[in-house]
Amino acid sequence: MKATVYNSSDMLIQTADKNLQPIAKKIFANQRISFEEGVQLFEKGSLPFLGALANFVREQKHGDKTYFNRNFHIEPTNVCVFSCKFCAYSRLYAHREEGWELSIEQMLDIVKSYDGKPVTEVHIVGGVHPKMDLQFFTALLKAIKAHRPDLHIKAFTPVELDYMFRKAKVSVEEGMRIAHEAGLDSLPGGGAEIFHPEIRTQICADKVDADGWLHIHKAAHQLGMHTNATMLYGHIEKYWHRIDHMERLRQLQDETGGFNTFIPLKFRNKDNDMSHVPESTIVEDLKMYAVARLYLDNFPHMKAYWPMLGRKNAQLTIQFGVNDIDGTIDDSTKIYSMAGSEEQNPSMSTADLVTLIKQVNRQPVERDTLYHEIRDYSNLSYDAIVANPLLN
């Protein structure tokens, strides 16, 4: 592929496809692009063109800063009443002996294993187990907060929350208030998949729909909580389904301003009911990140989830609109390794994450869940980080 080097915004506009020139002008003038323009970027935008535009937006918002955080995951169970076709992780309730179910004590033991370690966040997401209800999870939230009040709890997707609230016969607003008061600080982005019913009914027909997902995030935002959003891309959806998905998020963000981060999740096809669907190429992945950065003008952050993409590809995304590469993770998540992600035992130390960011000439900054900056690592060497138990 012939590389195109753009020295200025004018040059980029002049050399662009005629249909894309007005879009590039809009981006450089900080104007919002339309639904049709979003689709055109996917259809006609070359990788260097999209990368240059997305990097312009990224640098305008964040300069060279590339964030990471220090977190760990708890997956309470992989037993699930739903049957999403892309899921390699869950075991149906009828076959629950093949899965795992953690008790509150076991999950608290995981939290305790991080005592004295400088993690700032626990990320809790799992399958939807009929016996793990709102009462069970509020008890878990309270137990974690009682043990470590400063630990930010980012937990539960609308898929889990919708099931809990319906079972407890409480409204979304009431359920979110109960969970928030018990210690839930923010929501991760999962369960969004593809919102449009044409695709959603084919890949995850039985779980919460788009309106239900958005309703729960809106209720969280109204309580002052921040949340993330994802999109599972690169399977049977068309470009316009991706734009439709991002359009719904952009509209809610205009209303509430409660989203922090958008995380495109690349579909992986190992050991699931969609194994016949080929995976997207790295070129397609990078275009996805770039167009997301351009379309979601009101989302502050764009995150690449490195355990899913692999380290080298995560480095590439940093040139295509991404300003966050998630966290240290610590080998505590299985949802991707079971679906065939690059990283079978995802775990990276702070020193490794910092190196990964420095290798692509960006500025590594540790953040907390709400993007308060904790430390700039630009001037700390690998050895200095490894030698300091508070940093690694």
Binding site for ligand V47 (CB under 6 A): 86-88, 125, 188-191, 193, 228, 230, 232, 263, 265, 267-268, 272, 305, 326, 335, 339
Applying CB under 6 A, the residues found at the interface with ligand SF4 are: 80, 82-84, 87, 89-90, 127-128, 159, 204, 207
Question: How far is C-alpha 241 from the chain's CA centre?
Answer: 18
Instruction: Report long-range pairs for 33-38 (Cβ below 8 Å, ≥24 apart).
Output: 33/294, 33/295, 33/297, 35/240, 35/243, 35/244, 35/247, 38/243, 38/246, 38/247, 38/291, 38/294, 38/295
82 touches, from ligand V47, ligand SF4, none (C-beta below 5 to 8 Å by class)? ligand SF4
In the list ligand V47, ligand SF4, none, the entry touching 127 (Cβ below 5 to 8 angstroms by class) is ligand SF4
* Least distance between ligand V47 and beta carbon 184 (Å): 14
Nearer to ligand SF4, 311 or 334 (CB): 334
Residue 373 CB, shortest distance to ligand V47, in Å, is 18
Ranked by CB distance to ligand V47, the top (closest) residue is 190
**Cα–Cα distance, 338 to 360 (Å, whole number):** 29
User: Is 63 or 130 the residue whose CB approaches ligand SF4 more closely?
Assistant: 130
Nearer to ligand V47, 85 or 180 (CB): 85
How many CB atoms are located within 10 Å of the residue 270 CB? 13
* Closest CB to ligand V47 among residues 86, 137: 86
Query: What is the nearest approach in angstroms of ligand V47 to the Cβ of residue 115?
Result: 23
Rank residues 319 and 369 by Cβ distance to ligand V47 and give the closer one: 369
Q: How far is the CB of 44 from ligand V47 (least distance, A)?
A: 27
DSSP-derived secondary structure for 91-155:
EEGGGGGGS-B--HHHHHHHHHTTTTS---EEEE-----TTS-HHHHHHHHHHHHHH-TTSEEEE
Query: Which of these, 111, 136, 139, 138, lies nearest to 123 by C-alpha position?
Result: 111
The two beta strands, 259-266 and 226-233, are: parallel
Cβ of residue 89: shortest distance to ligand V47, in angstroms? 6
